[in-house]
Amino acid sequence: MPYIASIHLDTGKTNPFPYSIPAIKFAKNIHLGAPVNFFIGDNGTGKSTLLETIAFRLQLPHMDGSGYAKRSFAAAHTLTPYLEVDYAMKRTVGFFFRAEDFGDYLNSVDRRDAHLHTQMDELEGNVPEHILQEMKDNANYQLYHMRKNYGQELQSFSHGEAYLHIIQEKIKSRGIYLLDEPEAALSPAKQLSLIYFMQEHLKSNQSQFIIATHSPILMAFPQANLYEINEEGMKATALEATEHYTITKSFLNNPDLYLRHLS
């Protein structure tokens, strides 16, 4: 049994942004009865905004440990009062992953580390190296947060490996997990690794995943709910009937058909 049985977003408005985007206009009585649910659609259809609004409503923790005061959550802040969540079981423990937060988080740690090294350059040669390194590490609260939450420094991993490591560290118990376009950080092989990890997790944990994606690989998760969003509506759609699947399959079957005009 899932935690969130359905969502309903009805503002009575259709303009301006964010009320004008399809996912917000058409998110009416959306049933989320499966352990894994996908929001899919073209760029600009609002699937990420809808996911952010759910995360804001649940106040799920995310990458850098901060709250939802960032400017990027302004639309979610506006829409949250209109979001109705019907719980099959009440539980708001989980995590919210945004691909953009992942990159920003690693970059912010690197910037902070470089700044501290510049500040402490004058101490080099006068303070033992191991003491100087400990001072820098203690001053870098972001590095401390990374080690505390993810077990080690993520810069030692590739981009995709670091993303999967975070997922594996954060999805260890039952909860609600929202993933926004995880394929942005993952190769096709790593996307398959994510599917396998989710399958194994769900064998022993009663969790629920809600994922916004463009990836036909992720969308193929067995028995998942797929909601396709476009200018006409938001409706449950079989994998083979989605635009993402049909375009990808058609292209791979005959790439020359699409590319011949470029030569």
For the record, the structure tokens of 138 come out as: 């203690």
φ/ψ of 244, rounded to 5, equals: -60, -45
Q: Which range among 78-92, 137-151, 172-186, 220-234 shows the weakest confidence by mean pLDDT?
A: 137-151
DSSP string, 154-205: GGGS-HHHHHHHHHHHH-SSS-EEEEE-GGGG--HHHHHHHHHHHHHHHHH-
Mean pLDDT of all residues in the chain?
Answer: 84
Q: Which range among 31-40, 129-138, 184-193, 194-203 shows the weakest confidence by mean pLDDT?
A: 129-138
As separate numbers, helices (DSSP H) first and strands (DSSP E) second, the chain gives 11, 9
Residue 186 · residue 210 · CB < 8 Å: no
pTM: 0.81
Q: How far apart are CA 191 and CA 209, in angstroms?
A: 15
Residue 134 · residue 146 · CB < 8 Å: no
Q: How far apart are CA 213 and CA 134, in angstroms?
A: 41
Residue 72 · residue 106 · CB < 8 Å: no
Q: For residue 147, what pLDDT band results from cuts at 50, 70 and 90? A: very low
